[in-house]
Amino acid sequence: MLHQLVGYLPGEVALPDNMTGSQFLGWMRRLRASANGGLYAGRLLDRFDLNPEAVIATMSKGTRQKLALVAAFAHDPAVMILDEPTSGLDPVMQQTFIQWIREENLRGKTIFLSTHQFTEVERTCHRVGILKQGSLSLVDSIDHLRRKSRQVFEVSLGESRDLGFLADPDLDVALVNNRTATITVNGPVIHLIQKLSSLPVVSIREITQDLEEVFMEIYQHDEEETE
């Protein structure tokens, strides 16, 4: 029963080299006693543009990864566990995979994804868990993580000015030139507004942090607290 409810793709894929892809998929279907008759497996084969007739030993790394994906989830499980699922896939197949994951989630499936690819997490996941030294150090939504991160702004002036006076305990100023600076706000944004109120500001643009930047910020903060 558990085999029918859960699909698992390991990070290190090991497949029987002496079988064809079709033989391996048939063996997995019999092992699970899958009730869908391979219909979902056929849809996945089409989705990932995979011809399973070749002998596995002759398949490329990307093709073997696609076969492993199909084999792991051909029984249309309610819970999906994936470890580095796009390893070996080309950019087109990575995009196909991300779109498929989104659709499966909309169908109501629970999906656990372990990856070092931050773009995959941002494009597919609602909640993030950060592992550090084998322990789960944080669990939060992506939106909340971004809201907790520091705000970064690019400020441009209409004339040359000495921007050094913007330095403040709550502001990290990186000068681009004598008219433009990138400013990281560590406290309330009002501190930045007050500093800029007397300047001829032409534009101010918020620079959105991606998940990798948020992750590194949290990681470094944790290390500072343990020192």
Domain assignment present for 139: no
Q: Model-level pTM?
A: 0.68
Q: Are residues 15 and 112 in the same domain?
A: yes
Instruction: Kindly tell me if the per-residue pLDDT of 224 is higher than 60.
Output: no
Q: Are residues 111 and 164 in the same domain?
A: no
Domain housing 86: 2-125
What does the pLDDT read at residue 72? 93
Domain assignment present for 171: yes
For residue 161, the domain's CATH number is 3.30.70
As beta bridge partners, residue 55 has 20
Q: Are residues 155 and 101 in the same domain?
A: no
Q: Are residues 170 and 70 in the same domain?
A: no
When comparing pLDDT for 131 and 208, which is higher? 131
Q: What does DSSP assign to residue 103?
A: H
Q: Are residues 120 and 166 in the same domain?
A: no
Q: What does DSSP assign to residue 58?
A: G
Q: Are residues 50 and 87 in the same domain?
A: yes
Q: CA 125 to CA 199: how far, in whole Å?
A: 41
Residue 30's contacts (CB-CB under 8 Å, 6 or more residues apart) are none
Q: CA 190 to CA 195: how far, in whole Å?
A: 9
Model confidence at 176, in pLDDT bands (50, 70, 90)? Answer: confident
Domain assignment present for 40: yes
Find the mean pLDDT for residues 196-222. 75
Domain count, the chain: 2
Write the pLDDT tens digit of every residue in 102-113: 999 999 999 999
Name, of 60-69, 131-140, 162-171, 187-196, the range with top average pLDDT.
60-69
Write the pLDDT tens digit of every residue in 111-165: 999 988 877 888 888 898 888 777 787 788 877 776 666 678 888 888 887 666 6
Domain assignment present for 55: yes
Q: Are residues 73 and 173 in the same domain?
A: no
CA distances, 12 to each of 36, 70, 110, 121 (Å): 27, 15, 22, 20
Name, of 52-61, 117-126, 198-207, the range with top average pLDDT.
52-61
Write the pLDDT tens digit of every residue in 36-50: 556 888 999 999 999
Find the mean pLDDT for residues 207-214. 69
Range 72-104 burial, b when 16+ CB lie within 10 A, else e:
bbbbbbeebbbebbbbbbeeebbebbbebbeeb
Domain assignment present for 184: yes
